[in-house]
Amino acid sequence: MAHANAALTPKHRLRLARLIVDDGWPPSRAAEFFNVSWRTAAKWSQRYRDEGPAGMVDRTSARHTQHAKTPQPVVRKIVHLRWKQRLGPVPIAAKLGMPASTVHAVLTRCRLNRLSHIDRVTGEPARRYEWERPGELIHVDVKKLGSIPDGGGWRFVGVEQGERNRQATRNRTRLTTADRHPRIGTCFVHTVIDDYSRVAYAECHDDETAVTAVGVLYRAVAWFAERGVTVERVLSDNGSAYVSFLWRDTCADLGIKHKRTRPRRPQTNGKIERLHRTLNDGWAYKKLYSSENARRAALAGWLHQYNHHRPHSALGGLPPITRLDNLAGHHN
């Protein structure tokens, strides 16, 4: 079947070809009569000579020959250079004497076209996991952010105005460091994320002590329980709050199994590390806040947006709350 913009249908191709072959019209005259190029007229007339009326139908545009598939030994060499030396398509192609486009196609087929797919320490493909239901595992961590002085921080108002704002905040609070510099303080964002659904919970505090971390855990477990999620395990790093006896006893009281990451391996807790990056871009440094209190007040709204409306790439573009399907009526 001819495409929508075709100048000739199969019926008119046959008429064109017969005028040239059977009636002796010059191709240029027939082309002008049917308002096509003389090359098109010559093509259909030649096909009519060779195949008759059957040659007037459409043909597939696929090439007659296909490129040979890259041999497996070569694929293994490409993958080895990518894993062990973290080389890109151009350096790999130079080493193996082949086109960089072919190397890129092989890396894409093997899901190694991005270095983020490869573990930075071992060079092996990143091992990704996901628990089977909400609450089987939650991740906890603390994100440290410098507090915002009155009037805004240097990221938005510039270094000079930011320093003046720091001085004004010091004059109001009377807080200084040992060397008399303004002490603005640190915001400790205690974050919790469910491994399966990516539903997040967070609180801002002035410290990261075990007492504060335990309070966040109690409230987070209750918050998830209100949404039909029973927390079974919690994964943390080896921070002082999470190796304390208080944390251990609290997990025992809540009936939660505590798991810790291997030292110096933040990738194990990668889901919450990625949440911190999203939190930075979407809340902490998204806009100018006139004070630290203004930024902290905006956290609840951002969390609602993240959980209920923001598309999540790991969930097929759906917001995290859609995975809490055991909860009727809470995320309407």
* Tens place of pLDDT per residue across the chain (332 aa): 556 667 788 888 999 999 999 998 998 899 999 888 989 999 999 999 999 998 888 888 777 777 778 999 999 999 888 887 878 899 899 999 999 999 999 999 888 887 765 665 555 555 566 778 899 999 999 999 988 888 888 888 888 888 888 888 877 776 777 666 667 888 999 999 999 999 999 999 999 999 999 999 999 999 999 999 999 999 999 999 999 999 999 999 999 999 998 887 777 788 899 899 999 999 999 989 988 899 999 999 999 999 999 998 888 889 999 998 655 444 44
Distance of alpha carbon 26 from alpha carbon 10, whole angstroms: 20
Indicate if 106 and 197 belong to the same structural domain. Answer: no
Show the 3-state SS of 148-204.
CCCCCCHHHHCHHHHHHHHHHHHHHHCCECCCCCECCCEEEEEEEEECCCCCEEEEE
* Nearest CA-CA partner of 192 in 293, 248, 275: 275
Indicate if 194 and 308 belong to the same structural domain. Answer: yes
262: domain CATH number is 3.30.420.10
Q: What angle do CA 203, 207, 210 make, to 5 degrees?
A: 90
* Nearest CA-CA partner of 296 in 169, 193, 216, 204: 204
Q: Does the global pTM surpass 0.75?
A: no
Is 258 domain-assigned?
yes
Q: Structural domain of residue 113, as residue ranges?
A: 72-117
- The length of the chain in residues reads 332
For residue 303, report the phi and psi dihedrals to the nearest 5 degrees. -60, -40
Per the structure, how many domains does the chain have? Answer: 3
Indicate if 248 and 299 belong to the same structural domain. Answer: yes
Distance of alpha carbon 164 from alpha carbon 150, whole angstroms: 10
Distance of alpha carbon 192 from alpha carbon 217, whole angstroms: 8
Q: How many other C-beta atoms lie within 10 A of the C-beta of residue 296?
A: 19
